[in-house]
Amino acid sequence: MNKSAKTYTYRGGQKVALEKSPDQMVVRALSAGLDDGAIASSEQVSSASTRVNTSGAELDALMSRSRIVAPTHHAYYESDSGAEFLITDRIFVTFKQALSDQQIDDFAGRYGLVKTASYSDRDYLFQLTNHTGMNPVKLVVKLTEEEPLLEAAEHDLNQRMNAEQFSLPTDPDYARQWHLHTHLNNADFDARSSVLCENSWGLLDGFGSDEVVIAVSDDGCKLDHHDFDSPDKFASWGYFRGSRLVTAVDIDADPQQMYKAGSNHGTSCCGVIGGEIDSVLTVGAAASCQLLPIQWESSGPSLFISDSKLLTTLNYIADKADVMSNSWGGVPTSVWALPVINRIKALALTGGRRGKGIVFLWAAGNENCLINHTASQPVPYDHGVEVQGGALVWVGVRTTRVFRNNLVGIAGVMHIAALASTARRSHYSNYGPGIGVCAPSSNSHAYYRMTVRGLGITTTTGESGGVTHSFGGTSSATPLVAGIAGLAISANPSLSALEVISILKQTASKDLDFSGYPRTPPANFDMNTDWDVSPVSPFDAGTFIDTGEPEGSWSPWFGHGRVDANAVVAEALSRNQPVGDKTFQGDSTPDRSIPDNNERGIKDKIVCAREFSLASIKVNVDISHTYIGDLRVSLISPSGSVVPLHDRTGGSGNDLHVEFDNTSAPGLLALIGESVKGEWALHVQDLALVDRGRLKAWSLEVKGQADTSIVVEESPGVIIPDNVQGGIERSLAVSKTGRLDSIEVSLDITHTYVGDLKVELTSPSATSVLLHNRTGGSANNVIKIYSLSNASALQVFQGEAVKGAWKLRVSDHAGVDQGKLNHWALRIVSTT
């Protein structure tokens, strides 16, 4: 294929140079529906699209005929890497601010678009029509550069992601699972490669909690496999058919659709995580945890994933999962649309089953290349072979200097590298910036040219017999870390996702083999192997170095080290020790009638005068009622958080005499860390006619710890210069290490016209947040405490290192009125 016709578009907020193929097109139809003599060959590139090859002379005429059948576009490739850029007839639009329905419709009308989905009050998905008058590439450029209403516009790309697996030669079930224990006697097994799950199970006195849910997005899962046969093994499941995610609760859902013969990758990933301890076959790292598999449509090793499908999946698991494992990816470019990135950022902080964030794990990849770095020389990013006539044929490696992955650096997201059973880096494992930790897996030569030592992973498969001994790649390493993350949450459900990732990193073992591999030898079909340069400088050694991260030293090959399940569980349990001597007990005996069939219900309050952070809570209620299925009972904390305790369950049963705690009412876990001081309220509603009742009494028992937050402050009393954009800058130093979990910013500024003022806070990592941006008009003074609850922009600091200089800039942007910064303070809660 000859590439020509250079152009550009935007992706992830950056300009991307493209080349338009002179002899290819992409049509939204499968090859079975395409019948034209000008088609030389075709290849499926998404669940509903095909890339067609033809001659340059016939391309335009073929596209005209094809457009009668289905939407058709030119085929594009990225100029710098040659990676395919699979546009669709859909675009994402992020408006600068929320618009009315009329304004959205007017926008769509101006560009001949149809709104197909809304993800927030600013994020929308639109489909082009024949009235748009330009292709998606040109439209994204026009909207980005000319449309004043928009913050961003970009493509809903189709992406063919590689299932990151290597199949090793099959060798003659728990005894062979060397990655979980140290019992195996084999010359290719170094005990330093095991994650020591067997030891961690002893600490837990079990195999994980059946309340913890681990989502797996892949090519499906054989739900009726013997290793998943307990009644509640699956919290849910779902599969894509076109743009629709069919889920377990849908009336037309068919569980048999979750598996198709030959697609065993997802089944193996699920086995690595949660193969049941009582089965006759294999064991997973977190055998008692629940699974939530999502099936992408696929063809062979290619998974068909678009931005909108990934966003749909994220929204589905948003309140169901604790961990999400993704054993797929793409190099050299893996750049997702901003709505996807923003959703992942939000879910990592406050999403999930417990409202404490989802741990997101991605396979680093198996191409022996970088994942997010610009190298000083061309670096191979594929295996250099193609399957032709059923055999592997050397065609030469593709190279690039630029590797981009915009998931790297997101708090709550981690990429997993592979470690061979010899405790050496797996030859194929990707490396460099972005690697979080490594985990044991298989070993193979990335270019199929050399013998390298290492054992495969024994786990589940959908094939006959139900077991494979040759699973591997970063595909196997990633769900193994997901299972260990599930064990950490099982040990301590109060942990946030950011804390889980921090524990995985800081407890990882650095006792590994740092030996490298010889370069690829010449062969009669490839005599010059100077192309084999990986790992490239400055990442050509696996030595651990101090990068200033709170979790400790880091290696470009191993990340923070080999994940250690035993140390992870021990650390999680240590953070779940008895909560100390801070206790508040309160009770109330209102003996009030509950109004029948009235949504307003009644509220009764208990006031706590003590001040400490909540670690556990019990709520006892005593309600007399002749039909408790009518009742909804909620607890409201002093911060305004509402936790449902009883929601119209129990049917015709009489009376509610119940103690609710973190186990029976998991929603109470969301209150951990909140201040206990203030008014606590019990809200009782009767939502159906006839039966009546009374709230006789209720009580609280709250335990916690004294405030251990970091507080830094100053009272400078400095004048803010009038109408000077640079204003004043003050700095407060934090000496403690750790990553930010929550922050409060206290300001005391006197000023006679606060609409003149801008107030900006900058972290030691150089992240800036505008706290006050010329709002408030002629009002006097800014005396306020900003927190995560009333200033959501502060969430961007979560997960950042707290140590260093925090800077406050206060500037006045209009004449006449003047003011003074009297006092400012930071209260930071960090995780270690």
pLDDT tens figures, 41-80: 888 888 888 899 998 899 999 999 888 888 888 999 998 8
The SS3 assignment for 22 reads strand
Q: What is the pLDDT of residue 174?
A: 86
| Mean pLDDT computed over 627-634 | 92
Domains, in order of start, for the chain: 4-161 (no CATH), 165-574 (3.40.50.200), 582-705 (2.60.120.260), 710-831 (2.60.120.260)
Contact 554, 560 (CB under 8 A): yes
List 460's β-bridge partners, or say none: 467
Choose from 194-203, 243-252, 823-832 the range with maximum mean pLDDT: 243-252
Do 484 and 286 touch, CB atoms closer than 8 A? Answer: yes
Exposure string for 712-734, b = 16+ CB within 10 A, e = fewer:
beeeeeeebeeeeeebbeeeeeb
CB–CB of 498/831 below 8 Å?
Answer: yes
CB 45 within 8 Å of CB 65: no
What are 665-717's pLDDT values in tens digits?
A: 878 888 887 888 889 999 999 999 888 999 999 999 988 876 667 888 898 98
pLDDT at 167: 38
Confidence grade of residue 306 (pLDDT, cut at 50, 70, 90): very high
Q: How far apart are CA 660 and CA 640, in angstroms?
A: 19
> What is the distance between the alpha carbons of residues 196 and 484, in angstroms, rounded to a whole number?
10
Burial class (CB within 10 angstroms; exposed 0-12, middle 13-18, buried 19+) of 548: exposed
213-218 and 323-326 strand pairing: parallel
Question: For the chain, what is the mean pLDDT?
Answer: 89
What is the average pLDDT across 460-488? 95
Residue 165: pLDDT band (50, 70, 90) is low
Q: Is the pLDDT of residue 831 over 90?
A: no
SS3 state of residue 139: helix
Lowest mean pLDDT among 44-53, 331-340, 358-367, 578-587: 578-587
Q: Is 422 strand, coil or helix?
A: coil
Q: Taking residues 795-800, report their average pLDDT.
A: 86
Residue 582 has pLDDT above 90, yes or no: no
| Type and span of the H or E element at 713 | strand 710-714
Cα distance between residue 25 and residue 377, in whole Å:
32
Long-range contacts of residues 140-145, Cβ cutoff 8 Å, at least 24 apart:
140/9, 140/10, 140/91, 141/8, 141/9, 141/10, 143/91, 143/93, 143/111, 144/10
Report the C-alpha gap between 702 and 676 in whole angstroms.
8
* Residues near 817 by beta carbon (within 8 Å), at least 6 away in sequence: 722, 751, 752, 753, 756
Pairwise CA distance, residues 361 & 482, whole Å: 7
- How far apart (Å, rounded) are the C-alpha atoms in residues 357 and 355? 6
Kindly provide the residue ranges of all beta strands, DSSP E only, lying in 211-315, ordered along the sequence: 213-218, 238-241, 244-247, 290-295, 297-299, 302-306
Q: Which two tokens stand for residue 181?
A: 């224990």
Positions annotated as catalytic residues are 218, 265, 475
Nearest to 322 by CA among 284, 346, 354: 354
Residues 261-272: what's their mean pLDDT? 95
pLDDT value of residue 503: 93
| Mean pLDDT across 631-655 | 89
Q: Is 560 helix (H, G, I), strand (E, B) or coil?
A: coil
pLDDT of residue 579: 42
The mean per-residue pLDDT over the stretch 110-116 comes to 92
- Gap between the Cα atoms of 627 and 690, Å rounded: 9
How high is the pLDDT of residue 170?
31
The two three-digit tokens of residue 704, written as one number: 């916690």
| The residue type at 412 | G
CA distances (Å), 250 to each of 102, 244, 254, 589, 733, in order? 33, 11, 9, 45, 54
pLDDT of residue 538: 95
Give the integer Cα–Cα distance in Å for 274 and 566.
Answer: 17
Q: Stretch 218-229: mean pLDDT, rounded?
A: 94
What is the 8-class DSSP label of residue 428?
A: T
Q: Is the peptide bond before 538 cis (omega within 30 degrees of 0)?
A: yes
Give the DSSP letter of residue 19.
E
Q: Tokens 């595909």 belong to which residue? A: 475
> pLDDT grade, residue 171 (50/70/90)?
very low
Is the pLDDT at 2 greater than 60? The verdict is no
Residues of the chain with pLDDT > 70: what percent? 96
* Residue 179 tokens, joined: 């990655």
Contact 275, 460 (CB under 8 A): yes
Asked whether the predicted pLDDT for residue 790 surpasses 60, the reply is yes
Q: How far is residue 829's CA from residue 710's CA, in Å, rounded to a whole number?
A: 6
Write down the pLDDT at residue 442. 96
3-state secondary structure of 410: coil
CA distances, 112 to each of 98, 121, 139 (Å): 21, 21, 11
> Mean pLDDT over residues 140-164, rounded?
88
Mean pLDDT of 343-353: 92
Structure tokens at 454: 């290492």
Backbone φ, ψ for residue 504 (5° rounding): -55, -40
- Report the amino acid identity of residue 194: S
Q: Which of 497-511, 554-568, 748-762 has the lowest mean pLDDT?
A: 748-762
pLDDT, average across residues 778-793: 80
Q: Measured between alpha carbons, how far is 45 from 54 in angstroms, rounded to an integer? A: 16
Q: For the whole prediction, is pTM greater than 0.95?
A: no
Q: Enumerate residues 6+ apart whose C-beta is below 8 A from 60.
A: none
Position 241 pLDDT exceeds 60:
yes
- Of 722 and 171, which is predicted with more confidence? 722
Q: Which residue has the tokens 């340069």?
A: 533
The pair of structure tokens assigned to 554 is 């880091």
* Max intra-chain CA distance, the chain: 91
Q: Is the pLDDT of residue 396 over 80?
A: yes
- What count of other Cβ atoms lies within 10 Å of the Cβ of residue 202? 12
For residue 699, give the DSSP letter: E
Which residues on adjacent β-strands are paired with residue 18? 7, 78
Per residue, what are the HEC states of 733-780?
EECCCCEEEEEEEEEEEEECCHHHEEEEEECCCCCEEEEEECCCCCCC
